[in-house]
């Protein structure tokens, strides 16, 4: 089965399960209140981290360096903000993990090691040289 389709099915199932479990423990009104609080706090912190990432990106540009990490962080913060807006506890956990700089950096390091390792093993290229041959050259086949 396609992993994206599986993810689209599993995330709402996990969210519903967690909402039922947490709602039965703390009550429906408290659960709804908690969902709104995590969304508001998460969006505020996403804005704060987004501005810090933007400042860091401008600082990297002023040093004539490419702000690669900052661009990835900006995309991760935007995804985290989207996940925090979606009601549910599972997406909130993932969103908060993406917003905090420490966990975001750990995730980026893990992914960069995973993809750079697989890329270094797969060197399917042929190195060669070429030379233009004129029309009336004897070496032409």
d(CA 96, CA 81) in angstroms, rounded, equals: 9
74-131 per-position pLDDT tens digit: 999 999 999 998 889 999 999 999 999 899 999 989 988 888 754 445 567 777 787 7
d(CA 122, CA 88) in angstroms, rounded, equals: 40
Residue with tokens 């004539």: 64
Q: What confidence category does residue 16 fall into, taking pLDDT thresholds of 50, 70 and 90?
A: very high
Per-residue pLDDT, 123:
63
Radius of gyration over every alpha carbon of the chain, rounded to an integer in angstroms: 24
pLDDT at 136 over 80: no
Average pLDDT, the chain: 86
d(CA 60, CA 68) in angstroms, rounded, equals: 9
Query: What predicted TM-score, i.e. pTM, was given to this entire model?
Result: 0.73
């Amino acid at each position: 089965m396609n992993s994206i389709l599986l993810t689209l099915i599993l995330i709402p199932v996990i969210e519903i399960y967690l909402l039922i479990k947490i709602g039965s423990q703390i009550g429906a009104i408290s659960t709804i209140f908690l969902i709104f609080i995590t969304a508001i706090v998460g969006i505020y912190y996403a804005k704060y981290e987004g501005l810090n990432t933007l400042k860091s990106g401008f600082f990297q540009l002023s040093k004539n360096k490419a702000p690669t990490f900052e661009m990835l962080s900006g995309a991760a913060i935007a995804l985290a903000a989207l996940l925090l807006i979606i009601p549910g506890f599972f997406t909130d956990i993932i969103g908060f993990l993406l917003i905090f700089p420490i966990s975001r950096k750990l995730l980026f390091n893990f992914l960069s090691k995973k993809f750079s390792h697989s890329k270094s093993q797969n060197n399917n290229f042929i190195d060669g040289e070429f030379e233009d041959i004129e029309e009336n050259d004897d070496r032409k086949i």
